[in-house]
Chain A
Amino acid sequence: MERTAEARPIVEVKGLGKSFGAHKVLAGVDFSMRVGEVVAIIGPSGSGKSTLLRCLNQLEQHDEGSIEICGIQMRADTPIPRKDMNALRRSTGMVFQSFNLFPHMTVLRNISLPQERALGRSRAEADERSRALLDRVGLGSKADQYPARCSGGQQQRIAIARALALDPKIILFDEPTSALDPEIGLEVLAVMQELAEGGMSMIVVTHEMHFAETVSDRVILMADGKILEEGPSSEVMRNPKSPRAQQFLHAVMNR
């Protein structure tokens, strides 16, 4: 796994906090990440991993601290201008646990429509790009099918192609294989590994410990809305320092 990450930060998070009502989901989260890095976020359920990811592209608004992503500043105390929000959504792609393909559109339309609506590409341009990406994820023959006719693993690869079609600078993966059985999950992980090797900046919330250890450059271990440990993947995974991290990793590594 030889990958070079540039020194330029693509994500810079400072003092991030988020509450749902009285429940504090994130508290004082700081981290940064460079262009081309692959960061895995692991940790027990309810530790705030997904919320952190959803704050990064503002599917959830954070209520403390600041986020800078691809040069776009977002402070909790100031509303984000529409122009910045559009730029943010243009620079970040997202892949969801539940795929979230549009069920009433063919696979090709699913990938082409956002290109036309968000980037203003022509139908022909968009379709050409969509077909190229479908080939790349090994699903060129599925272009005219509806998503319901595709397996979960295929749907997730289509969702990845849909995100890639908008030429994002970073892709956020929210438990991309959790809804798939382990064998099917592998085909999705293979596509993600290829992306990582191609130099894509990625943040992956995952329960796939093997992926976290071998594909990602860095691992962030979260618990109770805070970052517990962070560092080079093998170091965090093999030699966790805090007892809580040791307990979590012991539980998930020895299955």
Chain B
Amino acid sequence: MTLDGVLLIAGGIYWTLVVTVCAFLLGAALGVPICAMRVSRSRVLNAVSVSLIVLLRSVPPIVWIFLLYFGLGSGFLTINPVPAAIIALGVITAANMAEIYRGALSSIHPGQWDASHALGLPVWSEFFDVMVPQLFRVTLPSATTYLIGLLKDSAIASTIGVAEIAYLANFLSNKQFHASLQIFAFAGALYILISLPLAAVARDADARLRSKVAQ
């Protein structure tokens, strides 16, 4: 494997990160209303969000990506590979984040709501000052685990031609199939190199947040 090859594959880091980060942010944001519907008292909203979550999570990511890119893309509207990958992975992430938020919500002591009401905090303050920071701490470990999973899932964007790490590795190995082992090993190493600092930052943030509330 030549230096050119190394640089070529490393160039894929950009699209790997774009797809991963954008899909995660989209999912983290869309997960909020889905979770809100899931815990609402309305049976209709409940049913809508449960069906949405089941639908989004039961279909494999690669099928969602094909559905969006080849299905919708062939005739209904044209969609580029990168947005197609981001949207497909993003909505799946939304369903999972909604469930992560829901679990975190139930971990908050009901007395926190009582106190917020009794103190006359406005609704926005109850949400942003009291709930979000506590939810953030509780969701951090599982959200990070999901993010690292998503980083690896972003490789399936290669199937619709997004020039990320896996796509470029595959491209190169088709040309230099005698070096396939090194090429894919290098691609794998790149994923590890991105995951490690992510996990380290999350562990550190978790430890710092936890130390505040520890006895």
B193 within 8 A of A: no
Minimal beta-carbon separation of A67 from chain B (angstroms): 15
Report the separation of the CA atoms of residues A127 and B90 in the bound assembly, to the nearest whole angstrom. Answer: 43
Q: Which residues of B contact A103 (CB under 8 A)?
A: 134, 212-213
Question: Which residues of A, 70-96, contact B by the 8 Å Cβ criterion?
Answer: 86, 89-90, 92-94, 96
Contact A114 B120 (CB under 8 A): yes
Q: Which of A92, A103, A162 has the most CB of B within 10 A?
A: A103
A253 within 8 A of B: no
Contact B213 A104 (CB under 8 A): yes
Give which listed residue, A98, A146, A148, A166, contacts B119 with CB less than 8 A. A166
Stretch at the interface among B57-65, B74-82, B109-117: B109-117
Q: Which residues of B contact A98 (CB under 8 A)?
A: 109, 111
- Contact A59 to B118, CB < 8 A, known contacts A113-B129, A117-B129: yes
Q: Which residues of A contact B215 (CB under 8 A)?
A: 148-149
Contact B212 A104 (CB under 8 A): yes
A184 within 8 A of B: no
Minimal beta-carbon separation of B7 from chain A (angstroms): 45
Minimal beta-carbon separation of B114 from chain A (angstroms): 6
Question: Which residues of B, 119-133, contact A by the 8 Å Cβ criterion?
Answer: 119-122, 125, 129-130, 133
- Contact A146 to B213, CB < 8 A, known contacts A100-B109, A113-B129: yes
Report the separation of the CA atoms of residues A101 and B111 in the bound assembly, to the nearest whole angstrom. Answer: 9
Question: Which residues of B, 21-77, contact A by the 8 Å Cβ criterion?
Answer: none
Contact B111 A104 (CB under 8 A): no
Q: Which of B112, B118, B121, B213 has the most CB of A within 10 A?
A: B118
Minimal beta-carbon separation of A244 from chain B (angstroms): 30
Main secondary structure of the interface of B (DSSP, over half): helix
Contact B214 A148 (CB under 8 A): yes
B137 within 8 A of A: yes
Minimal beta-carbon separation of A228 from chain B (angstroms): 27
- Contact A92 to B118, CB < 8 A, known contacts A100-B112, A102-B130, A104-B133: yes
- Contact A102 to B112, CB < 8 A, known contacts A146-B213, A148-B212, A148-B213: yes
Contact B117 A59 (CB under 8 A): yes
Report the separation of the CA atoms of residues A114 and B120 in the bound assembly, to the nearest whole angstrom. Answer: 8
Give which listed residue, B119, B129, B137, B213, contacts A89 with CB less than 8 A. B119
Minimal beta-carbon separation of A210 from chain B (angstroms): 26
Q: Which residues of A contact B209 (CB under 8 A)?
A: 104
Minimal beta-carbon separation of A133 from chain B (angstroms): 14
Sorted nearest first, the 7 A-B pairs with minimum C-beta distance are A89-B120, A100-B115, A100-B111, A94-B118, A118-B120, A114-B119, A117-B125
Instruction: Point out residues on B near A: beta carbons under 8 Å.
Output: 109, 111-112, 114-115, 117-122, 125, 129-130, 133-134, 137, 209, 212-215
Q: Apart from A92-B118, A94-B115, A118-B122, list 4 A-B contacts with CB within 8 A.
A: A100-B115, A103-B213, A104-B213, A117-B125
Q: List 29 A-B contacts (CB under 8 A).
A: A57-B118, A59-B117, A59-B118, A86-B120, A89-B117, A89-B118, A89-B119, A93-B118, A94-B114, A96-B114, A98-B111, A100-B114, A101-B115, A102-B112, A102-B130, A103-B212, A104-B133, A104-B134, A104-B209, A113-B121, A113-B125, A113-B129, A117-B121, A118-B120, A118-B121, A118-B122, A148-B215, A162-B119, A163-B119
